[in-house]
A and B are shown apart, each in its own frame.
Chain A
Amino acid sequence: MIRDITIGQYYPADSLLHRLDPRVKLFTTVIYIIALFSFKGIVGLALITGFLYYVIKISKVPFRFMTRGLKAIIVLVVITSIFSLLGTPGDIVFWKWKSLQLTDAGIINAVLMTIRLVYLILGTSLMTLTTTPNQLTNGLETALAPLNKFHVPVHSIAMMMSIALRFIPILIEETDKIMKAQMARGADFENGNLIQKAKAMVPLLVPLFVSAFRRAEDLAMAMEARCYNGGEGRTKMKPLKYTQEDYNAYGIVIGFLVLVIIAANVVPFPQ
């Protein structure tokens, strides 16, 4: 059931992408998103497609594993595409009904929107697929360390994220279990109107919250017992250190962004 969602689950493998410093991957993801939403024209699209293809290739994550994650958000993609398909005014109008219309610009828009969303999910999920949640939070913590000066509790936030990531699968499994137990007592989570459905959630949410609080209490105690005392004076098993590969990656990514921007200005068509 809910357990089938695989978006962003770490996929263990030994690849260049897995080895890269998480800060590089964070930076790359930001650059990739910028490129994805600022490209114009077929050349830009080709550049991004090429980049995405290359990165997926070297990640050693099976493509099928990635697309399984896509299934979960397909509805979202379809809805946004329909909105841009029927809501964009254009030069050539194929069909019109009240405020809905099908135009040339609408079709291009919808195609682009679909591509952007799918690429966005593939690209960003690649980040979490090749980076362990701990590396990821470690990277965020190091990259955002300067914010400490502005009294942002960067370490605590990173620790919370890491714990959340550890417990999400556990809580999902638990939801599954509680749901089944209540179904065994005749509960019905599928039929009925919205209010009935919302009511059916109560037997699910109460035990889930009780359990989450119990776990939180246990965990806090376990952390204290292991001398956890906040970020101060902590050392790291895996401190972040840049290697030549990381510097090269920075170079490639910046080069990629430059190319996309040039392409957008030189060959800004179609659109």
Chain B
Amino acid sequence: MSIILDKVNYSYSEGTAYHVQALKDINLKIEDGEFIGIIGHTGSGKSTLIQHMNGLIKATSGGIYFHGQDIYDEDFNMKELRSRVGLVFQYPEHQLFETTIFDDVCFGPKNLGLDKKTVELRAFEALRNVGFPHELFYQPPFDLSGGQKRRVAIAGVLAMKPEVLILDEPTAGLDPAGRDEILGLISQMHKELGITIILVSHSMEDVAKYVDRIIVMNQGSVMYDGVPKDVFRQYKELEAVGLAAPQVTYLMHELQEKGLPVDVDATTVEEAKESILAAFR
């Protein structure tokens, strides 16, 4: 198992009027090779949660273990943790800074203290893994389209060769074509590179299509944690906290109520189609 969170609590500005408990008693186990979706609306604590996983935020209480090692141990190597648990922030293209795309991707591995050849090899590999066209490698990153810039930013984290890749709303602000491309890319990295993926998202539809485990955050606590079908079965409770299950879930439940023998656990258009067709056969 790669990451364990044990009774993690986190609060802002303790002891003042602005005191907010952002995380409450979080217990999570993240296994190698999982593809996890974290869902919750703004302020539910999901962004705070993922920043704990690579040590950018220190828990007020509780423990976090990476491969069995306590990350709050004094001799624990935080820098190494950050290279093994990669974190791609929201709008990562806003953090590009080098004069060429290639140099920007080199930044991470260079910080790891690797020699020049390895650094460049890794950058090259990362850019290739995100499907970035070779002829643009030495262009400045600032002229690219939003979707392309985001690819470069993801490559920048990928070049550190993380075992776990956490992405905070990687599709925010992209148009549908860009969104499908990025999600496809992430799913491909999961399959081909065997990286554990944690995807933070608002969109149930996106998550339903790709992940095999969903963690629902609400007011700083884990509300649900399970496979998509089980989580979406609670669609009424999800709605009560301002989150909606995929449209398909509603449709299937309503069809069943009307007496059509469909599978209410279908969450994607494809599954729904099969199930409805089967009901008429």
Direct chain A–B contact by Cβ atoms under 8 Å: yes
Chain A residue, CB-CB nearest to B111: A186
Do A182 and B112 contact each other (CB < 8 Å), given the known contacts A188-B79, A210-B142? no
Q: When the two chains form their complex, are residues B97 and A203 in contact, meaning their CB atoms are under 8 A apart?
A: yes
Do A184 and B111 contact each other (CB < 8 Å), given the known contacts A203-B97, A207-B95, A210-B142? no
Do A186 and B108 contact each other (CB < 8 Å), given the known contacts A178-B94, A180-B51, A202-B97? yes
B112 / chain A contacts, CB cutoff of 8 Å? 186
Task: Give the interface residue-count category, chain A.
Answer: 10 to 19
Q: When the two chains form their complex, are residues B56 and A186 in contact, meaning their CB atoms are under 8 A apart?
A: no
**In the complex, A177 Cα to B157 Cα: how many Å?**
16
Q: When the two chains form their complex, are residues B111 and A187 in contact, meaning their CB atoms are under 8 A apart?
A: yes
Name the prevailing secondary structure of the A interface residues: helix
**In the complex, A202 Cα to B107 Cα: how many Å?**
12
Chain B residue, CB-CB nearest to A180: B56
Q: When the two chains form their complex, are residues A186 and B89 in contact, meaning their CB atoms are under 8 A apart?
A: no
Q: Which residue in B51, B79, B95 is a CB contact (below 8 Å) of A182?
A: B95
Q: Convert A187-206 into 0s and 1s, putting 1 for each residue whose CB lies closer than 8 angstroms to a CB of B.
A: 11000000000000011101
**In the complex, A178 Cα to B98 Cα: how many Å?**
14
Name the prevailing secondary structure of the B interface residues: helix
Q: When the two chains form their complex, are residues B108 and A207 in contact, meaning their CB atoms are under 8 A apart?
A: no
Q: Does B82 contact A (CB under 8 A)?
A: yes
Q: When the two chains form their complex, are residues B108 and A185 in contact, meaning their CB atoms are under 8 A apart?
A: yes
**In the complex, A211 Cα to B94 Cα: how many Å?**
7
Q: Which residue in A177, A184, A210 is a CB contact (below 8 Å) of B54?
A: A184
Q: Does B262 contact A (CB under 8 A)?
A: no
Chain A residue, CB-CB nearest to B87: A184
Chain A residue, CB-CB nearest to B91: A177
B195 / chain A contacts, CB cutoff of 8 Å? none
Compute the total of residue contacts between A and B using a CB distance below 8 Å: 54
**In the complex, A202 Cα to B110 Cα: how many Å?**
15
Q: Does B86 contact A (CB under 8 A)?
A: yes
Residues of A within 8 A of B (CB): 177-178, 180-188, 202-204, 206-207, 210-211
Do A181 and B82 contact each other (CB < 8 Å), given the known contacts A186-B160, A203-B97, A207-B97? no
Which of A184, A186, A203, A210: most chain B Cβ within 10 A?
A184
Q: Which residue in B51, B86, B107, B142 is a CB contact (below 8 Å) of A203?
A: B107
Q: When the two chains form their complex, are residues A178 and B108 in contact, meaning their CB atoms are under 8 A apart?
A: no
Do A185 and B111 contact each other (CB < 8 Å), given the known contacts A177-B89, A180-B56, A210-B142? yes
**In the complex, A210 Cα to B144 Cα: how many Å?**
14
Q: Which residue in B82, B86, B87, B96 is a CB contact (below 8 Å) of A207?
A: B96
Q: List 11 A-B contacts (CB under 8 A).
A: A177-B89, A178-B95, A180-B89, A181-B87, A184-B54, A184-B82, A184-B87, A184-B157, A185-B82, A186-B111, A207-B97
**In the complex, A137 Cα to B117 Cα: how many Å?**
56
Q: Which A-B residue pairs are the 8 nearest by beta carbons?
A: A186-B111, A206-B97, A185-B108, A184-B87, A181-B95, A181-B89, A203-B97, A207-B95
Residues of B within 8 A of A (CB): 51, 54, 56, 79, 82-83, 86-87, 89, 92, 94-98, 107-108, 111-112, 142, 156-157, 160
Closest Cβ of chain A to B210, distance in Å, is 23
Chain B residue, CB-CB nearest to A68: B16
B95 / chain A contacts, CB cutoff of 8 Å? 178, 181-182, 203, 207
Closest Cβ of chain A to B66, distance in Å, is 15
Closest Cβ of chain B to A9, distance in Å, is 11
**In the complex, A186 Cα to B87 Cα: how many Å?**
11
B54 / chain A contacts, CB cutoff of 8 Å? 184
Closest Cβ of chain A to B222, distance in Å, is 23
Which of B86, B87, B94, B157: most chain A Cβ within 10 A?
B94
B86 / chain A contacts, CB cutoff of 8 Å? 184
B83 / chain A contacts, CB cutoff of 8 Å? 186
Q: When the two chains form their complex, are residues A188 and B94 in contact, meaning their CB atoms are under 8 A apart?
A: no
**In the complex, A181 Cα to B97 Cα: how many Å?**
12
Chain A residue, CB-CB nearest to B56: A180
A183 / chain B contacts, CB cutoff of 8 Å? 56, 82
Closest Cβ of chain A to B150, distance in Å, is 13
Closest Cβ of chain A to B135, distance in Å, is 24
Closest Cβ of chain A to B126, distance in Å, is 12
Closest Cβ of chain A to B96, distance in Å, is 7
Chain B residue, CB-CB nearest to A206: B97
Beyond contacts A182-B107, A211-B94: 15 other A-B pairs, Cβ-Cβ < 8 A, are A178-B94, A180-B51, A180-B56, A184-B54, A184-B56, A185-B82, A185-B156, A186-B82, A186-B111, A186-B112, A186-B160, A188-B79, A203-B95, A207-B94, A210-B94
Closest Cβ of chain A to B152, distance in Å, is 12
Closest Cβ of chain A to B153, distance in Å, is 9
**In the complex, A188 Cα to B107 Cα: how many Å?**
12
Q: Which residue in A188, A202, A204 is a CB contact (below 8 Å) of B111?
A: A188
B87 / chain A contacts, CB cutoff of 8 Å? 181, 184
Closest Cβ of chain B to A30, distance in Å, is 32
B94 / chain A contacts, CB cutoff of 8 Å? 178, 207, 210-211
**In the complex, A185 Cα to B119 Cα: how many Å?**
13
